[in-house]
Amino acid sequence: MSFLTSRDDAANPAAPALGAPSPSRRRSSLPIRLPLVAVYAERAIARAGLDALLRSEMINVVLPEVEGRPPVGARPDAILLAGFAPERRLADSLAKRHGAPVMLMVDGALGADSFEELGVHGAVCRECPPERLIEGLHTLAAGDTFFECHTHPSAPTPTDSLLSPRERRVTAELARGAGVEEIATALCISPHTARTHVRNVRRKLGARTSAEAVARALTLGLVALPAH
């Protein structure tokens, strides 16, 4: 049994045969990896609320107190500790268990020095908007720290600690005219992580653009002019 072909099909040998996958079907886009956060909350209702909030913001969640340990190979990118009294032993234990940085959700003012003594990499207060929590978790997942709160501002931060060492390197790359892809290559990170660092630099320096961030960093002496 044979199938009839049209003249156009005969004249176009590149046309796909009947039943063959189309070119668009052959191409498969690379999967996007969403950040994974292990959530520990003192109260079940808070745990459920945080779970729903983070999932609605495209963040995968594991609830170790309910589900047990994460599946093999599913190491969290960050740990959220909510409703517990700040205690270094607890933070250290969870960080060691999951191999991930810890973020605290607290009541009062946020001071980077005091929280770093507790062995955590970030903190937000309960009155912060959800957007700040999401931003903080993405920042930790990208390998940086997050100690900012507009509701309960901490004491003035010394100029030299405005940016982390990684953020200074990103700013230096921006100063020499590098784009996101070049920054990612220079620092051996993904373009997504590079964009996160650039966004954090602009936010911390109160700049609307990368060029403005570079100008402020140069003025504050956080980076030097690139040598020619």
Average of pLDDT values for 50-69? 86
Q: What DSSP assignment string belongs to 69-112?
A: SPPTT---SEEEEESSPP-HHHHHHHHHHHTS-EEEEESS---H
Question: In which band, very low, low, confident or very high, does the pLDDT at 144 lie, cut at 50, 70 and 90?
Answer: confident
Judged against a pLDDT cut of 70, whether residue 114 lies above it is answered with: no
Once rounded to an integer, what is the mean pLDDT over residues 135-154? 80
Which range is least confidently modeled, 16-30, 83-97, 106-120?
Answer: 16-30
In the chain the first and final C-alpha atoms are separated, in Å, by 74
State which fold the 36-147 domain adopts.
Answer: Rossmann fold (3.40.50)
Q: What is the pTM of this model?
A: 0.57
pLDDT computed for residue 9 by the predictor: 46
Q: Residue ranges of the domains in the chain?
A: 36-147, 159-220
Could you tell me which of 99, 94, 55 has the C-alpha nearest to residue 77? 99
DSSP SS3 for 33: coil
pLDDT of 159? 56
Q: Give the pLDDT confidence score for residue 11 in this predicted structure.
A: 46
Find out whether 134 and 54 touch, Cβ atoms under 8 Å.
yes
Maximum Cα–Cα distance for the chain, whole Å?
Answer: 83
Q: Which class is 159-220 in CATH?
A: mainly alpha
How does pLDDT run across 24-51, given as a tens digit for each residue?
444 444 456 789 999 999 888 889 999 9
Q: How confident is the model at residue 100, as a pLDDT?
A: 93
Which residues, in sequence order, are CB contacts of 77 under 8 Å at separation 6+? 35, 36, 37, 100, 140, 141
